[in-house]
Amino acid sequence: MKQLSLIIISILALSSLDAEQVNSADAPVGKVHIYKQEGDTAREIEIFFPKDHDPATKAVPGIIMFHGGGWGGGHRKQFRYLCHYFSTRGLVAATVTYKHAPKARTKEAKSTESRKRVCITDAKSAIRWYKQNGEELGINPRKIVAGGGSAGGHISLLATTNPGLNDPRDPKEYDTTVAAYLLFNPALGAADAKDSEVDFLQHLKDDLPPAIIFFGSEDKWLKNGWKAASAKISSLNIADSVDVRIADGQGHGFFNKQPWTDITLIEVDRFLKDLSHLEGDPTLTMPKTGEKLKDANKTLDSTR
């Protein structure tokens, strides 16, 4: 079983690498900052600013995204396209490099699940740095939106709900709570229950901020991972603030290829407008080929 888990993670990492090439192909590069130094390794956060953004006169909502890659791979460039788009819509948006889960079976990594801890710790450091430097960046710290794809979705959720796994060097006066979530096929699995530090269900409460979540109907993470989270969300009576959209016939990581990349960003745009994080209509257009996202409840009912 351990070998199988490692194979699955490797496959997800390779899928994410392919996705990065699609999403970053036409996206510009943002301004790179170092949010943390680990020995000789700099942990980087790449930030995209609106045109003519002046932090001295205006603080806007911020987005912070964590890439996928099976917790052991991937690159922040996966979300350059998203970050650049929302910077053109008036937001400050960032994509983050974080420490990958160790590949060796060391005391630091007794199981596949516990290996994920290091990713979460770095994500918390990145969010704290984002808030700490909010005035300089021109960000409203009360309107920071976190998210990610696959493993990055899992990491963003745990970094903002689990009170543990903090880097002792981080400034504790800055918390890691956020105003909303942008989650692209978040990789939540039953195996996470083996380690409470990485199990989102054990930290999910009725104060969960609004979220928009995307899955392909053929994604195994939808039925085998998200199903339990959805049930708990319903039991907490917060389902109305969690908007799940389904791409019919699509698999894991579908959002990384067109036309689904733009379709999901249009829905995110509308979601953020409803939260008063931005104004106006999306500047992207829906495809003429007719692809659309479906309501999750209707899709799940048809597959039961």
Q: What pLDDT score does 19 carry?
A: 44
pLDDT mean over 266-289: 97
- Quick check: 59 pLDDT over 70? yes
Q: By the 8 A CB rule, do 116 and 124 touch?
A: no
Q: What pLDDT score does 178 carry?
A: 98
Pairing of strands 139-149, 60-66: parallel
Structure tokens at 289: 């080929």
Q: What fold characterizes domain 2-303? A: Rossmann fold (3.40.50)
Structure tokens at 98: 């974080």
Give the span between the Cα atoms of 145 and 64, in whole angstroms. Answer: 6
Cα-based distances in Å from 59 to 133, 153, 281, 282: 12, 26, 21, 21
Q: Which of 5-19, 58-72, 227-241 has the lowest mean pLDDT?
A: 5-19
Please name the residue ranges forming H helices in 25-141. 80-88, 117-132, 134-137
* pTM greater than 0.75: yes
Confidence of residue 26 (pLDDT cuts 50, 70, 90): confident
For 92, the 3-state DSSP assignment is strand
Conformation bin of residue 184: beta by default, left when phi > 0, alpha when psi is -120 to 50: beta
H or E segment and range at residue 91:
none
pLDDT single digits (tens) 138-158: 999 999 999 999 999 999 999
Give the span between the Cα atoms of 91 and 177, in whole angstroms. Answer: 18
| Domain boundaries, given as residue ranges, for the chain | 2-303
Structure tokens at 161: 């709900």
pLDDT mean over 104-122: 75
How many residues make up the chain in this entry? 304
Structure tokens at 9: 């993670």
Mean pLDDT, the chain, whole residue set: 90
Confidence of residue 301 (pLDDT cuts 50, 70, 90): very low
Confidence of residue 295 (pLDDT cuts 50, 70, 90): confident
Q: What pLDDT score does 103 carry?
A: 76
Q: What pLDDT score does 302 carry?
A: 43
H or E segment and range at residue 144:
strand 139-149
Tally of helices (H runs) and strands (E runs) in the chain: 9, 9
Q: By the 8 A CB rule, do 60 and 50 touch?
A: yes
User: Could you tell me which of 84, 182, 71, 63 has the C-alpha nearest to residue 120?
Assistant: 71
For 215, the 3-state DSSP assignment is strand
Q: What pLDDT score does 15 carry?
A: 44
